[in-house]
Structure 1
């Protein structure tokens, strides 16, 4: 089995994502709050009872969609924090005009915290440095991701997104349909996506495994769920 070359695809490590910053915020903020659990495909509302909230995601994967056409602009896996950018308009009483919305890509668990309460805790516990680190990471992630998608041909986009999906935890990957994952982020037709996947399979860069898992004795690879699973090995194309 050949390996798929990742090129410049941005696959963040725990250190880059600054898990410590996220977990530190979770530890201070999640107190006496009941978690909310939603299934894949459901919308995560940051507006609850006409009040803006910060959402602390403790389980699952989400995607950020552009409101005008539902194109997926970004994604993430737990632990994470949603609503920091939207909270700006609420804090400074600006006209609310959010261009994005959030959808659960897998089953998710999260804790909603009113923006006012979140800011008070951030002030009291000196969490603003952690918050800044999280926002800087997001800028770096989006910049690198755009470099791999904007102005690229279909093959390059699909390759980058397959490798991005591989960066997800295994438990989340098994809930995600690879074909939908690619189409929602690129606008490519299903037929074009399947054509590229078929060509990768024919070239022995991916293997259709009909939802079977990888045995421990096999070389490292990853599984993506399309209509069947795909194992992609790391050998340069």
Structure 2
């Protein structure tokens, strides 16, 4: 089967150092973590693209859900992120892009993602973004980037993700998943990458928050803590992930 990123396997995949499990905070959010692994697997240095994080702010009820800006990805890595219209067979749309060497990034249900075992896998329906590297419709198998790694799934999990289970058929109000795809350009020389990264960092620093976002969060935390105490235990995970 065609792979967008060649030469990797879920069996012996080596995650990027930013996702080393010995770190205090080995993950950030699904979209940023996904991009770190995709860029690393392609031979890019994802650290060069993290200048945007200095703009994170507290938004009153949560911190900014920060993401690699599309313009930064294109400037640093030649990666053009475009929205993919899903209007027919979801698998067919994904197959078409993978065949062209483009990486689909699609919101899927974590309930059917085995790498989320202990969190949402077979426990809770949650949306999360994965990068599809290999898809085999006939075998019902998917190899994909998600969070801090590269994984594979098959069988009922594959069918559940793409709404092929008997219980999912003929649901009139089922919505198509939000999907992007990525067109990749050539690598930059290391010296050019550093210069581009510094230029982008300077731009982001000029737009950083005027006040300390940690202090803003501190001022709101008493209210948040009261909500956490009153809520069911499962709410704690949602809070820590989203806030």
Give the TM-score of the pair, scaled to structure 1: 0.26
Please identify which structure carries the higher strand content.
1
Give the TM-score of the pair, scaled to structure 2: 0.26
